C-alpha cells in the first residue's frame, strides 16, 4: 500500500503523484489509463459550459479536471475533504484556488458560483440530497450543475449494494433525475458514456469485457500481460462516446441541471 504521508510534496522540482486509493483516478499511470480517459472525456465534453464562469469543482480529487476547466473559466475553486489531495492541487495546479471542506456544508456564500462541477463523486456521499441542496444554495440564479456518476445498472449489475466499497449509493438515470428534481434543479440533458468502436473491439479481444479483463488482473495482484497493458495505455478520451440514446446501457451518467433563474413562490 502506498504511503500518502508526503503526497503533494515536491521532489526534484516536480510534485509527487498522489497514490491510488480506489476513491480517485490519477493521470500518468499506464494501468489506470482506461479509467482516467473515461473521466477525462466528460471534462472535455462539458468544459465549454464553464467558459467565462466562476466555477466550483466539488470533490476535485487529484485536480487535473479543475486544471482543464481553468483553461476556459474566469476562475476555478477546487474543494476536497482529503488534506493530501488539497495540498497536491495547490502545488501542482497553481491556477486552481483550493479549499478543504465537507461537501455537505460547502464553505461558500449563497448565489456566489456560476457552475458547480461534480464528476464521479456523488456516489461516494452519504447524504446526496444534502449535497445537492448545498449546490443549489451556492449557485447563482440560472447557475448550472454538471454531474457525472457511474450508472448503477452497468456498474453494479444485479446488486442492491455497490461493488465498489468506497461507494455508498449508485444511481440509474431515473434515480438521478428524481434526486435532482427533489433538489429543485431542472434537468437540461441526461446523457451517457459508452464505448466507441475502438473500445468495443477491445471488449471482443479480451473475452467480451475489456473492463473485466482489467479488474481480474488487478485483483490477481500479478504483473499484467504485455498486450493488456499496451491496450490500456493506448486508450484516448475520443475512444468513448457520449450520447442520449441507450441511457440504461451507458457506463456513466452525465447530467446538466440548472437552478431556476427566478425563485418560484411556494
Percent pLDDT > 90 in the chain is: 74
97: exposed, middle or buried (C-beta count within 10 Å: 0-12, 13-18, 19+)?
Answer: middle
How many structural domains is the chain composed of? 1
Confidence of residue 42 (pLDDT cuts 50, 70, 90): very high
Confidence of residue 19 (pLDDT cuts 50, 70, 90): low
Q: Tell me the mean pLDDT in the region 147-174.
A: 84
The answer as to whether 130 is a domain residue is yes
- Grid coordinates belonging to 16: 509527487
The answer as to whether 3 is a domain residue is no
The answer as to whether 155 is a domain residue is yes
The answer as to whether 158 is a domain residue is yes
Residue 148 has pLDDT above 60, yes or no: yes
| Enclosing domain of residue 56 | 30-198+240-259
The answer as to whether 234 is a domain residue is no
- Strand, helix or coil at 193? strand
The answer as to whether 17 is a domain residue is no
Q: Residues in the chain, how many?
A: 266
Q: 252 to each of 44, 101, 141, 174, 226, how far by Cα in Å?
A: 15, 26, 28, 13, 28
Tell me the average pLDDT of the chain.
88
What CATH number corresponds to the domain at position 146?
Answer: 3.40.50.150
The answer as to whether 61 is a domain residue is yes
Amino acid at each position: 500500500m502506498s504511503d500518502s504521508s508526503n503526497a503533494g510534496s515536491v521532489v526534484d522540482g516536480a510534485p509527487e503523484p498522489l497514490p491510488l486509493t480506489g476513491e480517485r483516478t490519477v493521470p500518468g499511470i499506464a494501468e489506470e489509463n482506461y479509467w482516467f480517459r473515461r473521466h477525462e472525456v466528460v471534462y472535455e465534453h462539458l468544459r465549454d459550459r464553464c467558459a467565462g464562469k466562476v466555477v466550483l469543482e466539488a470533490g476535485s480529487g487529484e485536480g487535473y479536471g479543475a486544471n482543464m476547466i481553468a483553461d476556459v473559466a474566469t476562475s476555478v475553486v477546487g474543494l476536497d475533504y482529503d488534506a493530501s489531495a488539497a495540498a497536491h492541487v495547490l502545488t501542482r495546479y497553481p491556477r486552481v484556488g483550493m479549499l478543504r471542506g465537507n461537501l455537505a456544508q460547502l464553505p461558500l456564500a449563497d448565489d456566489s458560483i456560476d457552475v458547480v462541477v461534480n464528476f464521479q463523486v456523488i456516489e461516494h456521499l452519504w447524504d446526496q440530497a444534502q449535497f445537492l441542496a448545498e449546490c443549489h444554495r451556492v449557485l447563482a440564479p440560472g447557475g448550472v450543475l454538471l454531474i457525472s456518476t457511474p450508472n448503477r445498472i452497468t456498474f453494479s449489475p444485479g446488486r442492491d449494494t455497490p461493488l465498489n466499497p468506497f461507494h455508498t449509493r449508485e444511481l440509474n438515470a431515473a434515480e438521478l433525475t428524481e434526486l435532482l428534481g427533489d433538489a429543485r434543479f431542472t434537468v437540461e440533458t441526461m446523457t451517457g458514456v459508452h464505448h466507441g468502436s475502438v473500445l468495443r473491439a477491445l471488449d471482443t479481444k479480451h473475452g467480451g469485457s475489456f473492463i473485466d479483463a482489467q479488474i481480474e488482473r488487478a485483483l490477481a495482484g500479478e504483473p499484467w500481460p504485455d498486450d493488456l497493458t499496451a491496450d490500456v495505455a493506448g486508450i484516448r478520451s475520443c475512444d468513448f462516446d457520449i450520447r442520449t440514446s441507450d441511457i440504461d446501457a451507458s457506463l456513466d451518467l452525465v447530467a446538466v441541471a440548472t437552478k431556476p433563474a427566478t425563485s418560484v413562490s411556494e
